[in-house]
Chains A and B, each alone.
Chain A
Amino acid sequence: MLVDDLKRGLDAPICLTWELTYACNLACVHCLSSSGRRDPRELSTAEAKAFIDELHDLQVFYVNIGGGEPTIRRDFFEIVEYAIERGVGVKFSTNGSRIDPATARRLAAMDYLDVQISIDGSDAATNDAVRGEGSFAMARAAMENLAAADFGPFKISIVVTRHNVDQLDEFEAMAASYGAQLRVTRLRPSGRGADTWDELHPTNEQQRTLYHWLQARPHVLTGDSFFHLSALGEPLPGLNMCGAGRVVCLVDPVGDVFACPFVMHDEFKGGSVRDAGGFTAVWRGSELFHSLREPESAGACASCGEFDACQGGCMASKFFTGIPLDGPDPECVNGHGEAARLAALAGGAVLPTVGPGHSKPGSGPTPVRLGRKPVGAGSGLT
């Protein structure tokens, strides 16, 4: 089985997520990396290029660049062009604020480059409640500019929430109107998302609707992030497994290497690209990464007939909701997650410290009422 091969881990990741900077001009309430302010220790241009050299040597085919808002870095184009030159394809996520007509033309002239514009509502009210006032117009302007520059099929990327899940058809029409590709991914309770997940994550009924919607649209990209929904029937297209430390990982702006693209927390940190041996030594030598490639136990899910389909779901979602990693996904479609979460909390489970990370103090819109206070005041991310 291919999945079994992949679970044992590859010699290098297939792709990885690289958050280029913590700086961001928005303050989305579900930001995975709690971004806002640049970190003074962020990788220099030379360090970024040395990291790209490593990715080239490892034959990592592409990187998913994000942030923060990656285009804020003054050397953004220098880094992207260097990666492409070295055969490392680039897909970057942006809120669109810097994609003016000239930048759109510059991007359109580059090969092996994918652009993902983030938008979380098909109308300004839905989107701006999560991403901040004016962010809908910003994203749409970027889409217009890319289309006018003949970029080709750029991607429109949506994080599915309780409030936009009913707009999937509208998003599809939006993508079609630009000749763009639609990409929908899963909301995780990571970063600032830990504080807003309760109010934003789709209901169980909405998940069922989403599953059938995706089943009927294999062309919609998902980053294979909804494999927990495969417990509802036929598996969704893509890899139905957690790729953390096996086929993917994350490098943060200061060079720390995390096994899971959605868990920027010390418990999932394998090392730093600044360590001796660089990224390669972390991927190949870190005890944490090795442990993630061991056969996992089905744990509390062992008696469930759907385990083979959903694989127990998403590690990040469990981790940040206090559920043991061998327990059910908090959004388990059979409802085991909510019970596990309450049991874990009743049993004294302490939620991982999230803290403000690089959020700007008191800044940004907080239109979504916070359901609970951050558990710790520390600086889990710094």
Chain B
Amino acid sequence: MNLEGAYRLDPRVALRPEPFGALAYHYGNRRLVFLRSPDMVRVVEALADQPTVADALQSVAIDEKRWPSFVSALTDLESSEVIRAR
């Protein structure tokens, strides 16, 4: 996972909006993952339409100072198969 990578939501994952962000449920591995902020949800949803992670972060106006924390959260989402490289 790095800023230049291209990702998308795993097609077996459903996102359900909640006040704190969203629930992500993976119908394949049956894992439930919590997206803990509305910004994180927007980033995850932007991944598929943007060439890179950096573009996705930029497209939803995430301050560059916060990018490292988003990359770390996206790393976790990749390991739980919520997002995948494309």
Binding site for B on A (CB under 8 A): 2, 5, 8, 10-12, 14, 59, 61-62, 87, 89, 111-112, 114
* Residues of A contacting B20 in the complex (Cβ-Cβ under 8 angstroms): 2, 5
Which of A2, A8, A59 has a CB less than 8 Å from the CB of B16? A59
Measured CA separation A59–B32 after assembly (Å): 13
Residue pair B30, A14 in contact (C-beta under 8 Å): no
Q: Interface of chain A, helix or strand or loop or mixed?
A: loop
Interface size on B, residues (CB 8 A): 13
- Closest chain A CB from B26 CB (angstroms): 9
- In angstroms, Cα B17 to Cα A206, docked, is 41
> Are A89 and B16 in contact, with the CB atoms below 8 A?
no
Contact A114 B34 (CB under 8 A): no
Contacting pair B16 A12 (CB below 8 A): yes
Given the interface contacts A2-B34, A14-B32, does A112 sit within 8 Å of B18 by beta carbon?
A: no
Closest approach, in angstroms, between the C-beta of A333 and any C-beta of chain B?
27
> Would you list 17 pairs from A and B whose C-beta atoms are within 8 A, ordered by A residue?
A2-B34, A8-B19, A10-B18, A11-B19, A12-B16, A14-B23, A14-B32, A59-B14, A59-B16, A61-B14, A61-B16, A61-B23, A61-B25, A87-B27, A89-B30, A112-B27, A114-B30
Residues of chain A within 8 A (CB-CB) of B27 are 61, 87, 89, 111-112
Q: Is the interface of B mostly helix, strand, loop or mixed?
A: strand
A11 and B32 contact, CB distance less than 8 A: no
Q: How far is the CA of A62 from the CA of B16 in the complex (A)?
A: 13
- Check: B86 CB closer than 8 A to any chain A CB: no
Bound form: Cα–Cα A62–B14 in Å: 12
Q: Which of B25-58 contact A (CB under 8 A)?
A: 25, 27, 30, 32, 34, 36
Cβ-defined contact, B23 with A5, below 8 A: no
Residues of B within 8 A of A8 (CB): 19
A112 contacts which chain B residues (CB < 8 A)? Answer: 27
Chain B residues, Cβ within 8 Å of A12: 16
| A5/B30 in contact, CB under 8 A | no
Q: Kindly state the separation between the CA atoms of A2 and B25 in the bound complex, as whole angstroms.
A: 16
A residues less than 8 Å from B17 (CB atoms) = 11
Q: Is B19 a contact of A5 with CB atoms below 8 Å?
A: yes
Known: A10-B23, A87-B14. 20 other contacts (CB 8 A): A2-B34, A2-B36, A5-B18, A5-B20, A11-B18, A14-B23, A14-B32, A59-B14, A59-B16, A61-B14, A61-B16, A61-B25, A61-B27, A61-B32, A62-B30, A87-B27, A89-B27, A89-B30, A111-B27, A114-B30
